[in-house]
Structure 1
Amino acid sequence: MRHWRGFVIALLFLLLPVLLSACWDRVEIDQRGFVAGVAIDKSNRKEETSQKLGKAPELVGTYQMLIPSGLRSGNKDAGKPGAAYFNLSVTERSMMALTARMSAKTSRTPYFEHLQVIIISNEAVQGNQTDFADILDFFLRNNEMRRDINVLIADGSANALLSVKSMNESYPVAYIDSTLNNYKKTSYMRPESRIGYVHEQILKNVSFTIQKISSYADGISLTGAALFDSDHRFVGFLSGTETGGLNFLKGEVKGGVVETNLDDQIIDLDIEHATRKIKARRENGHYKFTVSIKAEGTIGKSIQKLDVTKLSAIREMEQLFAKEIVKLSKKTLQTLQKKYKKDAIGLGLYLYQNKMMSWKEMSENWEEGKQLFTEADVEVKAEVNIRRLGNINQSERE
């Protein structure tokens, strides 16, 4: 018995150093390089072919690194004493190589757990040489990354967006990240494209859209959307109006304004809620789809001649707003079917989920081959309910 007791005590003493070494891989917080945003562009440098790397194009990665002391001082000018951030650019042929090269150029260990946005230029994912999924693969596999990082496609230089000026944020990425939430106030923006959502679309092999971002003299714009096909290749951009129609067709409108004309004057509906339902029936070997949209909102602007307290006036406005939503949706549908030939609405996904036997017959020819999507008969219906008239019934005297 004494022999076993001594053995147990000796074993505990041997294990004690192991238990005390739980932080073997720790990095002190003042030695971390906090990466807030990453921008990926295609290099303009003349590419050198390599037998080992093939024709993989060079990428320029720009990393926005935060300076904690600068965040306290509120200095927004990069490169100046007390600045809140600095941008570091490197050139390589893969994301892993970009990060490795960047690590060799900064005195602090790159740390991605606080990464907020990934911005990729449309040129970097245009054509067949660069795979969009390959770029995202690095971020999806890294254990420091979160699934809620926002992914954006830049119309033009992604690098330039990490240097935009902001009046009310300490660094450009914070300005961009805050603006992304404004999709609840306008239907001309797509909902946030988080990396987890984008990964799901890639795995489903469906066409999808991602938030578009562009820069201009006074800041940034998030109007519009970037369209990708089922092979996750960049196809083109949708305008703000087309994006608004897409949001209605997908039932993803969280807010925004619908305008229409009544007696040669503008009236506005402030959208508070919108849904959509899809139905499909087969006729003569082809499917006919019906997309039914229901929207609710508040009158944002009325006209002096209209008595908004009368039910007949309310019904007249509801019909006009419904026609405007149908018009907006059909414009988007026309663009997707005839110009891009890509089903970003999700009609094919509906058939996959609800008409599996029929979908197996046509899946290979939906967007490719015979391109059945381009010939699909889609009827759009809309119903609008005005729930409130705003805070006043009359804005001026007759």
Structure 2
Amino acid sequence: MRRWRGAGIALLLLLLSILMSACWDRVEIDQRGFVAGVAIDKAGKKEESSQKRGNAPELIGTYQMLIPSGLRSGSGGKEAGTPGAAYFNLSVTERSLMALTARMSAKTSRTPYFEHLQAIIISNEAVKDGRTDFADILDFFLRNNEMRRDINVLIADGNAKRLLSVKSMNESYPVGYIDSAINNYTKTCYMRPESRIGYVHEQILKNVSFTIQKIDSYADGISLTGAALFDTHHRFVGFLGGIETCGLNFLTGDVEGGVVEAELNGDIIDYDIERATRKVKARRENGRYKFTIQIEAEGTIGKSIRLLDVTKLSSIRKMEQLFAKEIVNLSEKTIKTLQKKYKKDAIGLGMYLYQNKRMSWNEISENWEEGKQLFTEADIEVKAEVKIRRLGNINQSERK
């Protein structure tokens, strides 16, 4: 009898523990504050945080909160604070991301919820002086169990807060506009592929130089042309322009689309890239590394000229050579910028040596980008092979 009574009590306790713990942290959906985007800026002298201990620099965090009723009404283009708007922005100042979120929670009626976070935009001013560590900023987002590892991370040229107020005619809120534009890297080689926070975290752990997407604003919207460059200590170094970014995409094998222009008889012809690959080979001669990067591209004629007969094989071969030469020129400009101006191996040649020539890499690893800076002296040869697979839907646009 006692045995059955003990078993019954144990079963009752088990059922109670399940019932009592099932929804202990439940928050009703109409009480959640959905955060779509976060912008991080360096605080100026006028801003003051609630804590004044230590010398840690202060940060301004701007949070874009969604208004579900505005999203349902399809109020694209309405600014924050206007009737029917789909979002509002809230800014606070503190010394850490956790403190920023805590202080923001005290200023809004809804509990901040980050599971739908789409983009983190960080000002280059916030990380360029070395006092604020890029990895420290990302640490909060990486540790929080509400965050996903596919959140986009972008570096703003200047103030990041302004980007959460850009206007869009076909999206309900600015971060939605930015998140959609990020995917357009498949249509242009002048912007880097999307920089997911999981990818950025991997680069930080590897202690390699890397680039992530750059973002800027102008009168009519945003621009994602260019890239932000970070060194092996994940410190912001500078920006690459569109041309250098295009060359970098070819050198790293990240081209998934875009257009290459070449000049023929004073006119411009266009090559629409459908796919591109790269292969790296390395050898060591007299203590100096020599790399050969072979780039292969396939695509379609995007624009021709009247005097060129594209049905002739000789015309096709001539265009292929011109486009290949242009790809080499773009790549060499990038190599010169990385070797001479920034002295950072964003191409990933050091990682190639680490993966394929481990013994020799161990001998030079400390002097690759630092110390003797052997990367700046490496001989990098670029070769390109272009194939025109299709001519488009027409053979000529007008009679000769």
**TM superposition score normalised by structure 1:** 0.97
Aligned length, in residue pairs = 397
Determine helix, strand or coil for the equivalent of 1:26: coil
The residue matched to 1:391 in structure 2 has which SS?
A: coil
- Residues 209 and 344 in structure 2, CA contact (< 8 A), matched pair in contact too: yes
| Deviation for aligned residue 1:51 | 12
User: In 2, distance between residues paired with 1:397 and 1:208?
Assistant: 50
Structure 2 partner of 1:32: 32
User: Which stretch of the first structure deviates more once superposed, 306-315 or 187-196?
Assistant: 306-315
Measured against aligned partners, the alpha-carbon deviations of 1:284-311 in whole angstroms (never above 9, x if no partner) come to 1111000100000000011111111111
Residue 49 of structure 1: how far off its partner (Å): 12
Contact 1:304–1:396 under 8 Å retained in 2:
yes
- Is contact 1:287–1:376 with CA below 8 Å preserved after alignment? yes
Q: CA deviation at 1:73?
A: 1.5
Aligned to 1:322: 324
C-alpha displacement at 1:355, in angstroms? 1.0
5+ residue gaps in structure 1?
Answer: none
Relative to 1, partners in 2 of residues 1:234 and 1:385: Cα closer, same or farther, differing over 3 Å? same
Matching of residue 278 in structure 1 with residue 274 in structure 2: no
The one-character-per-residue Cα deviations of 1:164-186 (angstroms, maximum 9, x if unpaired) are 00000000000000000000000
3-state SS of the aligned residue for 1:308? coil
* CA offsets 1:202-242 (integer angstroms, 9 cap, x no match): 00000000100001111000000000000000000000011
Matched, 1:220 2:219: no
Map Cα deviations across residues 243-298 of structure 1 (whole Å, 9 max, x no partner).
Answer: 00000000100000000011111110000000001100111111100010000000
For 1:323 and 1:6, the matched residues in 2 are separated by 86
Matched residues in 2 for 1:254 and 1:6: separation?
A: 69
| Distance change (3 Å), C-alpha of 1:373 and 1:158 | same
Query: Which residue of the partner structure matches residue 42 of structure 1?
Result: 42
Q: Which amino acid aligns with 1:232?
A: H
Q: 1:90 to 1:202 in 2, by over 3 A?
A: same
Compute the displacement of 1:48 (Å).
8.3
Q: State the SS of the aligned residue for 1:214.
A: strand
Deviation at 1:140, TM superposition (A): 0.3
Separation in structure 2 between the aligned mates of residue 140 and residue 128 of structure 1, nearest angstrom: 21
Q: CA 1:326–1:53 in 2, change beyond 3 Å: closer, same or farther?
A: farther
Secondary structure in 2 matching 1:392: coil
**Residue deviations 1:334-366, cap 9 Å, x none?**
000000000000011111111111111111111
Question: Residue 183 of structure 1 corresponds to which residue in structure 2?
Answer: 185
CA distance in 2: counterparts of 1:19 and 1:51, whole angstroms: 41
- Report how far residue 12 of structure 1 moved: 2.1
CA distance in 2, matches of 1:158, 1:47: 16
Q: Secondary structure at the match of 2:382?
A: strand
The CA deviation at 1:50 is 12
Structure-to-structure mapping, 1:44-63, within 5 angstroms: 44-45=44-45, 53-63=53-63
Contact kept? 2:47, 2:93, Cα under 8 Å: no
Q: Of 134, 140, 162, which residue of structure 1 is paired with 2:142?
A: 140
> 2:67 is matched with which residue?
67
The secondary structure found in structure 2 opposite 1:339 is: helix
8 Å contact kept, 1:74–1:83: no
Unaligned runs of 5+ in 2: none
Q: Percent identity?
A: 81
In structure 2, the CA distance between the partners of 1:241 and 1:83, relative to structure 1 (3 Å rule), is same
CA RMSD of aligned residues (A): 1.5
Letter in 1 for 2:186: K
Letter in 2 for 1:144: E
Give 1:173-322 correspondences, 5 Å limit.
173-322=175-324
Does the 8 Å CA contact 2:49/2:94 hold for their aligned counterparts? no
Query: Which aligned pairs between 1:111-126 and structure 2 lie closer than 5 A?
Result: 111-126=113-128
1:355-385 Cα offsets, whole Å, 9 max, x none, are: 1111111111111111111111000000000
Residue 121 of structure 2 contacts residue 156 of structure 2 at CA under 8 Å; is this kept in 1?
A: yes
Moved more, 70-79 or 118-127: 70-79
**Contact 2:50–2:94 at 8 Å: present in 1 too?**
no
- Is contact 1:224–1:239 with CA below 8 Å preserved after alignment? yes
SS in 2 for 1:20: helix
Residue among 164, 167, 176 paired with 1:165: 167
Q: Which amino acid aligns with 2:243?
A: T
Alignment check: 8 A CA contact 2:182 2:224 kept: yes
Equivalent residues of 1:112, 1:144 under 8 A apart: yes
Contact 1:49 1:55 (8 Å CA) reproduced: no
**SS in structure 2 of the partner of residue 90 of structure 1:** strand
**Are 1:345 and 2:347 counterparts?**
yes
Q: Give the residue type in structure 2 aligned to 1:19.
A: I
